[in-house]
Amino acid sequence: MPTETEEDERELRQLGYQSVLARGWGAFDNFACSFSALYCIGGVRVLFYIALSNGGPAAMWSSWLSGSVLSIITAATLAEACSAYPAAGSIYYWAFRSWGGGRAGRFVSFLVAAWTLVAWTSFLATDSFGVANYLISEIVVFNPDTTFPYDTADVRARAVAWALSLLFLALATALNFLPPRSYAWVFRAGVVVIAIDIVLNFVWLPIGVARTYGFQPAEFVFTSTYNGGGTAPGLNWVLSWYLPASCLVGQDASGHVAEETVSAKKAAAKGVFWATVASALCGFPIILLFLFCMPSIETFYATSAPQPFIQMYALALGPRAHVVATVVAMVGAILNTSISLVAVSRLVFAISRDSVFPFSNVLCRVSASRQPRNAVVFISICAALLLCTQLPSQVAFASLTSTSAAGSIAAYGLVGLGRALLTRKTFRPSFWALGRFGVLSAVVTFLWNGFAFAVLCAPQYGDAAISAEPSLFNYSIVIMAGITVIALEEWWRKSRDDWFGNLKDDQSYAASEQTVSPKTDGVTV
């Protein structure tokens, strides 16, 4: 009887690849990868001030409920694909197979790879920037009259935020150089910190609020609305889905580390699905907690700190004691960045293995410990370069928050579309099988993610506000269009002949199930 690892390697060869990454992470490590990448409480906290202006409290919790159900259905569709195709390419490989292989599958998967790569890289930059904002906000909260540069209109403040962001990105990158067995503890630490963060907020925050400004009434939480962006009433409510669309995305991380997970077709599929379920279930009471515990809307926004939530912590917990909650949030965000870097570096490794990047043979090379460290360094440099875009202005950089989710959301939608239309009769599920609900789930995946993509790219402010202040325009649709144009140009110029070179003669799903010659570009050095 072959061992689980031998079975994993055999299945990977059937997908067209030779196993070169260290396979040793267990099912919980795989779950922790996606759960930490999703980081539900951190996402809700960072985006709370944006979500609150998009419909107000009633829209926030109700949209989270519906968005959670639809995101879980999406996760089920992705888990089914992950179980059948547990490769490091993850989402773009699933797109290739979902679209039936052949030239159409190769083209769609190329677009998906481009979108997903930019999305994950944008997330690394915005997450590092978010940690920097926590620290800068603390300085402002401690001394509102400080001369420390914090106003984003001041180039010195942007330079400080940039330097701090690079520092936190470097720290997250350094963790990626731990040996695989040691890094498993980073996965576990990510889950522990999230648990501490949640418990701390559920226990300490209500006590602090009860002793200070008091709770919001149930009527405020469950029925009140708020339009902070000056958009049309209908659009304002639609924008409330911005929160679940931004927070419940990134579960494909479990797929990216599938080649390093034991019993990948089972563990990775479970990681994709159950991390989404856990994040959705945790997110709902967290939203209600923050809504009940927040001060008045006017007080919440009446701060010059880059992150208004820190001001709320200070009001509820005290000007000194609240630092503990902020430190926990910062540690969680740094671990979140590091774990996300694990996922995206495996994506870079896989894309390089499939022959796209210049110097692909270098980027897909693995170290003596069988880790894609060249890919880690490369994508960290790319994220650092993205951080530089905030130096002249934060206008375009602010839109990266939406782009970091929009790219992956668009990819999920295309996987669902291909599964529903092209391979609905030929798809052969593995361990994770949805049976008769597979096609229906794929249709829902396409519709929900198409809608979520539109929400993420929609204007967050009314025409009058944007006319008065052009920096309020949401440039994520411009960024996504630019990425698509560049990807199309690259496809026609070179990559249509190189991309998936080992599988480009695979014209049908049936043929794709046959064993093909494995690629061996990733070599141990």
* DSSP annotation string for 44-79: HHHHHHHHHHEEHHHHHHHHHHHHHHHHHHHHHHHH
CB distance 67 to 241 below 8 Å: yes
Q: What is the pLDDT of residue 398?
A: 67
Beta bridge partners of 524: 366
CB distance 412 to 449 below 8 Å: yes
How are the residues of the chain apportioned to helix, strand and coil, as percentages rounded to the nearest 5? 70, 0, 25
Residue among 6, 11, 3, 187 at smallest CA distance from 83: 11
* DSSP annotation string for 188-240: HHHHHHHHHHHHHHHHHHHHHHHHTT-PPPHHHHHH--EESS---HHHHHHGG
**Three-class SS of residue 141?**
helix
Q: What is the pLDDT of residue 89?
A: 79
Mean pLDDT per block of 10 residues along the chain (525 residues) reads 80 85 92 95 91 94 97 97 89 91 87 93 92 90 79 83 95 95 95 96 96 95 92 91 94 93 93 97 97 94 84 90 93 96 93 77 84 93 91 69 89 96 88 91 97 93 84 86 90 72 48 41 38
- Treating both helix axes as pointing N-terminal to C-terminal, what angle do 180-211 and 323-353 enclose, rounded to 10 degrees? 150
Distances (CA, A) of 517 to 13, 97, 209, 427, 520: 8, 17, 63, 22, 9
Q: What is the pLDDT of residue 397?
A: 62
Q: What is the pLDDT of residue 182?
A: 94
Q: What is the pLDDT of residue 522?
A: 42
- Treating both helix axes as pointing N-terminal to C-terminal, what angle do 308-317 and 323-353 enclose, rounded to 10 degrees? 150
Specify the CATH superfamily of domain 24-501. Answer: Amino acid/polyamine transporter I (1.20.1740.10)
Model pTM score: 0.91
